[in-house]
Amino acid sequence: MSIGVSVHVPKNLKKPIYQVYEQRLLQTLDHEGLPQHIGVIHDGHRRYARAEGLPDYAASYRVGMEKFVEFLGWTGELEIPAVTCWLLSTENLARPGDELRPYYDVLIELFDRIPKTPAGQNVTVRFIGSLDLLPADLVEATKRLQESCSTGSRRVTIALAYGGRQEIVDAVRELVGKLAADGTPASEIAGHIDRDTISAGMYASDLPDPDLVLRTSGEARLSGFLLWQAAYAEYSFVDVYWPAFRHIDFLRALRDYTNRERRYGR
């Protein structure tokens, strides 16, 4: 018979312990096997606000967007070439306006801040999604960020008002429209629709498919994120809410990824 013993670690000791653990993870990480493209579903802001007793959701949004900047720094330190981050889904747009407006304001603050941070250096930022559904001031902020971060070697794609099903629909519509405009007979259009031609119509078709998709908050589903592109990605579902996501959580996800044998459906 074994007896479990709960050991309480004082808060003033946790930070040094975490730092030692981080260094160990970094030293043992297979840097050659790191993913080249990471997709992230930043989930759990509202539940974090309730769990932490924050005065409103805007407070948790700000913590989460600060974490977003940290995350960009983490991926930069490891020289991850591409990340795609889902910050707002089309389904989110159905939330009450008094929830959405504070989030929009936090996103505007974030987008104007990124170019001034180390994490915003050497990146090219692009937005995907139905931006026409967003308020004008938020759309203007996306344009300012794209103009400020347009020449970096690392790719940061931000999905706003994004839905994976809608992306596939848009890709097929664009393909069929182009074929029709080129004079392809209706009876022959179906013969031109295949995996490659649909892939070419994805919002960020020049990016490689994600190798790893990471979702926080303990939810084990994609919710429509990169449905087409993530068909053979590896997945990491992390229990913590996004605002509480730590560097060691990220490193653990990378460690687990490098230990997997990718089969690509074979």
Q: Which residues are part of the catalytic machinery?
A: 43, 92
Strand order in the sheet with 123-128: 123-128, 154-159, 82-86, 37-41, 212-215, 234-237
Which tokens hold the place of 49? 């606000």
Q: Name the 3-class secondary structure at 84.
A: strand
Token look-up 């490193």 returns 251
Neighbours of 38 (CB within 10 A): 26
Write 17-21 long-range contacts (CB < 8 A, 24+): 18/246, 18/248, 21/248
Helix (H) or strand (E) holding 39: strand 37-41
Total residues found in the chain within this entry? 266
Pairing of strands 154-159, 82-86: parallel
Give the chain's largest Cα–Cα span.
78
Question: Each residue of 198-220: b (16+ CB within 10 Å) or e?
Answer: beebbbbeebebbbbbbbbbeee
